[in-house]
């Protein structure tokens, strides 16, 4: 039975600044993902605060929102079977120093903040995050 899912991916400012867009997209494509929607934009800090609302009680929330709104980002909808989990596996651990070889964060991440990519952590949040960027 086919289990096609969609997930939201963001190429973060550190990776856009280092011109890693095409390498990262190639990683998605060579791992079976189709990029069905995409846009390039710069968020206001208040938008980043809405996007990362689930983290609002965390000590890193303010820095995280400052950072996501500090430069251009590329937002994409990725589609494949089991897209949510497979994208998380392909991204690797949140902190690049704990990420496995071959993952995007191991290859390109600089630090836990500048970890190059964001990916939805559940099917439910993928729907919310896709709506946030594409259905308004």
The residue at minimum Cβ distance from ligand CMP is 118
Torsion of CA 81, 24, 16, 128, to 10 degrees: 10
Torsion of CA 91, 95, 97, 101, to 10 degrees: -10
Compute the least distance from the CB of residue 32 to ligand CMP, in Å.
21
Contact 71/16 with Cβ under 8 angstroms? yes
Written as six digits, the tokens of 39 are 């846009």
Compute the least distance from the CB of residue 104 to ligand CMP, in Å.
11
115 sits near ligand CMP (criterion: CB under 6 A): yes
Compute the least distance from the CB of residue 82 to ligand CMP, in Å.
18
26 sits near ligand CMP (criterion: CB under 6 A): no
- To the query of whether residue 118 is one of the catalytic residues in this protein, the response is yes
Written as six digits, the tokens of 12 are 């973060």
Per-position DSSP letters for 78-107, written without gaps between them: EEEETHHHHHHHHH--SSGGGSPTTSHHHH
Catalytic residue of the set 118, 129, 130, 133: 118
Site string for ligand CMP, 58-77 (x = CB under 6 A): --x---x-------------
Residues at the site binding ligand CMP, with contacts judged by CB under 6 A: 55, 60, 64, 94, 112-113, 115, 118
């Amino acid at each position: 039975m086919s289990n096609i899912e969609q997930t939201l991916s963001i190429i973060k400012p550190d990776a856009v600044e280092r011109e890693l867009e095409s390498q990262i997209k190639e990683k998605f494509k060579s791992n079976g993902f189709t990029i069905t929607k995409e846009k390039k934009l710069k968020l206001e800090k208040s938008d980043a605060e809405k996007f990362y609302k689930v983290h609002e009680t965390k000590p890193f929330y303010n820095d995280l929102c400052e950072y996501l709104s500090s430069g251009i980002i590329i937002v994409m909808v990725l589609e494949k079977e089991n897209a949510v989990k497979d994208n998380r596996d392909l991204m690797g651990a949140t902190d690049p120093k704990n990420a496995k070889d071959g993952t995007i964060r191991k290859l390109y991440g600089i630090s836990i903040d500048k970890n190059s990519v964001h990916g939805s952590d559940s099917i439910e949040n993928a729907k919310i995050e896709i709506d946030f960027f594409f259905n308004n």
